Amino acid sequence: MLRNCTAWPEELARHYRRQGYWADITLYDMLLRSVAAAPDRIALVDGTRRLTYAELQIAIDRLAGRLIDLGFRPLERVVFQLPNSIEFIIALFALLRVGVIPVLALPAHRDQELSHIFAHTTAAGYIVPDLWHSYDYRLLAARLSGLAPSLRSVLVLGEPGPNQISLRNLLARDGGRGDSATDLADFAPPPDEVALMLLSGGTTGLPKLIPRTHNDYVYNCQQCGTIAGFNAGTVFLALLPMAHNYTLGCPGVLGALAHGGTAVIAPDAGIETVTRLIETERVTAISAAVPLIVNWLNVDSSRSCDFSSLRVLINGGAKLVPELRRRVELRFGCTFQESFGTGEGLLNMTRLDDPAEIRFTSSGRPISPADEVRIIDEHGNDVPDGVVGELICRGPYTVRGYYNAPEKDRPAFTSDGYYRMGDMVRRIDGNLYVQGRLKDIINRGGEKISCEEVENYILGHPKIKNVCVVAMPDATFGEKACAFVIPVEGQTVDLDEIKNFLLKRNIAKFKLPERLTVVNEFPISPAGKILRGELRQAAAGNVASVHA
Ligand code: AMP
């Protein structure tokens, strides 16, 4: 296994294999099975473009050969920052096929996050679009090339900048290079090897890297797909960034491909687009998140829409309240499925045939019989059913450690390999119910914001003496960031000033605070700790406890 990653103990690995949780195939092999089953079936739809399974395989193999010709080698890391597109899937599988490890950055990430990712992964390549949502990724790549000594090749989807390589040329049938003579089989990775790295929405500053192996991620995609009822007739609509574990493999696009279905890539997530694609492509499954669902349900539904193809609408990333789950089923005429999981592994889903009470109120239950979920008190003892405790878990697709970060592993994993998910839950009859969080994270409709990271940036502002960033409730996103600041004596400061300051630091926009409250002091516990809970209450409207 790649150095600085933690493998599963051998005995457990044997068990997972014997029980069939690990199929000992790579993600590319998983795709090949669907190619072999129905080469002419449509695998991907993106606008007017439709790619069959056979065409997808040819495109992947061609690009894989050219990546090898360019000098990429197994186990090298490539930071992957493409927006949703057919090319995303082709390029991802091309890397996976030859054992080069894609590190899935989000399109929203900027210099701060990426320079950390490059430093941490010593990545040899970087794949970006030219322009996306008016942002020029070529300039970002040029800045990072100057900072990251490991970075050899920048591949650009669209018009490349100076010293950058056109991904389209590499994808083109003749691409000016002829087809690679490389025997790709020589580069096929072992199924126990790291396939890709996801980014964790961690508490402590910049993202941690989650190494997922072929074996564990194949199981992740297939098993989630089975529980969401995926089969060869599935038409999955991809709306959220595919760089997120949720839309990529839970079950996501990879789950649809694993089951021989079709993935339709939406240009945007507005209700008109979603409705049009459901009607024209006969979409059967959608993975959505709280803000999208809130918006969709608030749009006037006078036009009669044909949602008859839709079987399941999944919500993930943050909890959807029962009333909205019920309205989803009424409005879309499909089954609602709640998905509570994490990029580190564990996934819980309600089952399609659960009674309404469970579908509408619970956070689901583990997707695998081999998931070991414990709910513990502050002394590490299991709590009885119905009592709230901290969720810890291990299993065939939950990682045993982060990449190259032993100091991050220590607080995040128990000595016997359980991952501390950071959520407070209760379990009743096997179903989990998320009650809150242990960690200082703001969940902005599924995007996670580390309070500590944003506080560090704000502390760099010359007018700020101290800051505390907490979650405030929001009708659409569930939570947003609210900054409580103590200015330097004699100074005044407002939200716009802080936002402009943060934008200049080139951080992902979704992390910006959306309210700023100036205070003289923070509520402090007898032990001298800031009482974040009181600040959260104040942010929610109860200002009594804050000394403004
Ligand atoms: P990430 O690993 O970035 O996907 O974030 C995982 C975290 O998101 C979990 O530990 C939960 O705190 C939160 N989360 C994800 N899905 C749900 C859900 N359906 N209900 C409540 N919290 C969720």
CATH of the domain at 239: 3.40.50.12780
Confidence class of residue 303 from pLDDT cuts 50, 70 and 90?
Answer: confident
Check residue 180 and give its pLDDT. Answer: 67
pLDDT at residue 322 is higher than 60: yes
440-495 pLDDT, tens per residue? 899 999 999 999 899 999 999 999 999 999 999 999 999 999 999 999 999 999 99
Average pLDDT over residues 427-436: 96
pLDDT for position 201: 74
Q: Indicate whether 415 and 350 sit together in one domain.
A: yes
What gap in Å lies between CA 164 and CA 167, rounded to an integer? Answer: 9
What pLDDT is recorded for position 301? 73
387 and 256 within one domain: yes
Ligand 1 within 6 A of CB of 420? no
Q: What is the pLDDT of residue 546?
A: 45
Please give the pLDDT value at position 178: 59
The verdict on 255 and 402 lying in the same domain is yes
On the question of pLDDT at 176 being above 60, the answer is no
How much is the pLDDT for 543? 44
Res. 6: pLDDT tops 60: yes
Is the pLDDT confidence value at 203 over 70?
no
Please tell me which residue, 536 or 529, carries the higher pLDDT value.
536
Q: What's the 318 CA to ligand 1 centre distance in angstroms?
A: 5
pLDDT tier at 544, thresholds 50, 70, 90: very low
Query: What separation in Å is there between the alpha carbon of 200 and the centre of ligand 1?
Result: 11
User: Do the domain assignments include residue 151?
Assistant: yes
Q: What's the confidence (pLDDT) of residue 191?
A: 98
Q: Of all protein residues, whose CA lies closest to atom 7 belonging to ligand 1?
A: 342
Q: With respect to residue 19, please indicate whether it lies within any of the assigned structural domains.
A: no
Judge whether 383 and 389 are in contact, CB under 8 Å. yes
CATH number of the domain within which 487 lies: 3.30.300.30
Closest C-alpha to ligand 1, atom 19 = 340
pLDDT band at 202 (very low <50, low <70, confident <90, very high): low
What is the C-alpha separation between 322 and 249, in angstroms, rounded?
25
Whichever domain contains 168, its CATH number is 3.40.50.980
How much is the pLDDT for 135?
98
- Among residues 190, 208, 233, the one where a domain terminates is 190
The pLDDT score that the predictor gives to residue 541 is 85
Domain encompassing residue 462: 445-547
Q: Domain total for the chain?
A: 3
Q: What is the pLDDT of residue 169?
A: 97
Residue 119 lies in a domain: yes
- Is residue 430 included in any domain, yes or no? yes
Testing ligand 1's pocket by substitution, the residue of 314, 339, 391, 448 carrying the most ligand atoms inside 8 A of its CB is 448
Q: What residue's CA is closest to ligand 1, atom 22?
A: 318
Instruction: Tell me the percentage of the chain whose pLDDT exceeds 90.
Output: 91
Q: Do 255 and 322 reside in the same domain of the chain?
A: yes
Last residue of a domain, one of 175, 190, 205: 190
Q: Are residues 530 and 433 in the same domain?
A: no
Band of residue 528 on the pLDDT scale cut at 50, 70, 90: confident
Let me know whether 159 and 264 are in one domain: no
234 φ/ψ angles, rounded to the nearest 5 degrees = -70, 135
Q: Are residues 233 and 293 in the same domain?
A: yes
What is the per-residue pLDDT for 80?
98
**Mean pLDDT computed over 114-120:** 96
319 lines ligand 1 (CB under 6 A): yes
CA atoms within 13 A on the CB side of 301: 13
Q: Does one domain contain both 500 and 402?
A: no
- Residue 316 counted as domain residue: yes
pLDDT at 174: 74
CB-CB contact of 366 with 395 (8 Å): yes
The pick from 367, 434, 447 for probing ligand 1's pocket by mutation, whose C-beta has the most ligand atoms within 8 angstroms, reads 434
Q: Are 37 and 43 in contact (CB under 8 A)?
A: no
pLDDT tens per residue, range 79-106: 999 999 999 999 999 999 999 999 999 9
527 and 433 assigned to the same domain: no
- Write the pLDDT tens digit of every residue in 30-76: 999 999 999 999 999 999 999 999 999 999 999 999 999 999 999 99
Flag whether 365 is in a domain: yes
pLDDT at 116 over 60: yes
State the distance from the centre of ligand 1 to the C-alpha of 340, rounded, in angstroms. 6
Question: Last residue of some domain: 410, 438, 466?
Answer: 438
Examine the domain organization and report whether 66 and 166 are in the same domain: yes
Q: How far is the CA of 423 from the centre of ligand 1 (A)?
A: 8
Same domain, 176 and 260: no
Q: Identify the band that residue 267 occupies on the pLDDT scale cut at 50, 70 and 90.
A: very high
CA of 422 to the centre of ligand 1 (A): 9
Q: Please indicate, yes or no, if residue 296 is contained in any of the structural domains.
A: yes
Identify whether residues 133 and 240 lie together within a single domain.
Answer: no
Per-residue pLDDT at 437: 87
| Ligand 1 center to 349 CA (angstroms) | 12
CA dihedral 482, 486, 487, 488 (to 10 degrees): -150
Q: What is the mean pLDDT of residues 210-224?
A: 98
Query: What is the CA angle 52-56-61, rounded to 5?
Result: 150
Q: What are the contacts of 327-335 at 24+ separation with CB within 8 A?
A: 327/297, 328/293, 328/297, 331/296, 331/297, 331/301, 332/307, 333/307, 333/308, 334/307, 334/310, 335/311, 335/359
- Would you state the pLDDT for residue 547? 43
Residue 288 belongs to some domain of the structure: yes
397: Cα separation from own chain's centroid? 15
pLDDT tens, position by position, 219-257: 999 999 999 999 999 999 999 999 999 999 999 999 999
Write down the pLDDT at residue 329: 98
